[in-house]
Structure 1
Amino acid sequence: MPAVSRKGLQMPESPIRKLVPFAEIAYKANKTVYHLNIGQPDIKSPTKAMEAVAHHSLEILAYTRSEGSQEYREKIAAYYHKNNIPATANDIIVTTGGSEALLFAMGTIADTGDEIIIPEPFYANYNGFATASGVKIVPVISKIEDNFALPPISEFEKLITPKTKAILICNPGNPTGYLYSKEEIQKLAAIVKKHDLFLVSDEVYREFTYDGSKHYSILEEEGMEEYGIIIDSVSKRYSMCGARIGCLVSKNKMVIKTALKFAQARLSPPTFAQIASEAALDTPQSYFDEVIEEYEDRRNTLVKHLQNIPGVKVGVPKGAFYCIVELPVKNSDAFAQWLLEKFDVDGETIMVAPAAGFYSSPGVGLNQIRIAYVLNKKSLVRAVEILKIALKQYKD
């Protein structure tokens, strides 16, 4: 029988989606499942975006330019200017989600066997993108005891080799919700300049910051024109995960020229999704103000109730809508499966994302989970009640 590729065998499963078959078992048993496992916002997508697709005037659903339509890229550039990021339409390549932007970035800056340093825990799919690109992830561990703050720069320096091509961060972070300060971004900018590396910043949660904090982009930092690459997406900003539209942004002309070749190879991003995403850029600030207020309220509710559970430790997020929770269990994979297969409280249970998949270091994060607070407050409180009861009953 023909064999599949070694690369395919090495592709990691999604820690977010691999438990779906067990959730299906729970559904068949007529259980209510509170989904804390996936970052699918329950906030309505902007009306302008939905109406733009519903009332389009296209007669032919044609290809667009490989880098995305000129009109859309100009509007994205205007959005960035409002956020202190000096990008032009020519600095932007529209992609099929932030995922494709990350794949284009890795393909552009790294060859097979090259290394990218990433603070962990990190977005689980970075592992998959690296495997697909033949890139080696070199982790530098951030700790829940430090609320997942940037590790000391000396720890990054220890890991830099001739194979190192970039440092990759997610800001604010998925899965930690950590928001890097301006000073931390400046430290990273200094080290990539010193060692002639790229700094890739996944900034898809830019709008979601709390406690009066403000996001500071790598391209706001002076002198980062040749070193900085932004990954962005409409998925979470406008609650438009299904649109699958993102972008890669860089002032480095060679990066854009090279990434464009990857874009040409897949022809073009989806037309209807670009129409919706372009219209979404006209969303008033009041939309974001309400969304951020809602998420901050949810965060406060979730953290307060989690902190009341004996033996539980929680990282307090400053952005995005996730937090890492350390549980008094040995293996959160087994615990998460047990929650769906064998446990319920009056016909209700929860689905969480085991956190080990958000690390690349073996054996790290085994007793942690990621919670996405994308449910309303009442549901979050109930979900934490269920978690508390489950931890009392569960035996490793």
Structure 2
Amino acid sequence: MQASLALALDPHVFSLVLKSCAAIHRPQLGTAIHAHITKSSFLSNPFVACALVDMYGKCVSILPARQLFDEIPQRNVVVWNAMISLYTHSNRVPDALKLLEVMDIAPNVSTYNSIIAGLAGSDDGSFKGIAFYRQMREMGLKPTVVTLLALLPACVGVVALNLIKEIHSYAVRNDIDSHPQLSSGLVEAYGRCGCLLNAHNVFWDMKERDVVAWSSIISAYALHGKARNALEIFQQMELAKVQPDGITFLGVLKACSHAGLADEALDYFARMRTDYGMEASSDHYSCLVDVLSRAGRLYEAYQVIREMPVKVTAKAWGALLGACRIYGELELAEIAGKALSEIEPDNPANYVLLAKIYASQGRHEEAERMRSEMKERGVQAAPGSSWVTYQD
């Protein structure tokens, strides 16, 4: 088009080619196009401006994107949303909220979608995310599938079962309950918030079940200690010719862990590679260590840790240490405790647990030494607390 004098380069062309630059990460080309846009006086076009902000944020950094945003003469809601979305995707939710406060134009559903998703993915942001959803509804804005998908993790974060049911009802009334990603999200949300029956019903009402849906229902049953049900569903998944992924096997291994099915866990762990060609991650190894540890096979669990081809996490050592207390295994407890003190030296639970193991063995001097070490490092055990959500 550039070589042809007969074809004009209009704003629509520039916005599309900038989206392509962002998609395949071509910052130099995007910058060159920016220069062309400036010469052509198209920067005042809000769609071109939006595409430029998005390109800089995804291909360069947030700083030049914000500088460009501040220089745009006419900013419609699409341009504001582009900058807010960049902040939330970069885990800079406070900056996104500050920008929302100074918007000189009414926010729309996309604005709230970005804010809710950002808050739901941040520490202690679930209540705020739900509050923004309520605010959006009060403004008369109609939630979309994207809104509901952003809201579900916030509901899970605070176990807001009533709101999950509200989302489900809204989806049914507006004929979007058949959306596969939303259905899978509802299965996971119901399962994690203690409503296994609803998770079961949503799953079996789905017309098409992808790997996410199957993994969600397996994890739901595993979470509720229904190991045999979870493993039966995994078999049905295989019969349905749906290829499991790493998350599926995490659910399977957790199901084995809750039921103490150590041999089954070893078999499924081996099948990941032999049947499906998948390499186990740190999380898979941690689950396997947990299964063996709970079953009292502590030295097998320790052998798994020693032979792990991936980084040993605190989860694996923590599972072993916890089991050592149950089974009174002091030698391995000391090894696990030492490893944990190096991985997470500020976690009080590791010191307290090892001190209890020493005390249970009558070795009170070592127990006191652990408490002294906590004081020397300035590590304090958090006081116990609880909260209750009352639901109608």
Could you say which structure has the higher strand fraction?
Answer: 1
TM-score, normalized by length of structure 1?
0.25
TM-score, normalized by length of structure 2?
0.26
| Structure of larger gyration radius | 2
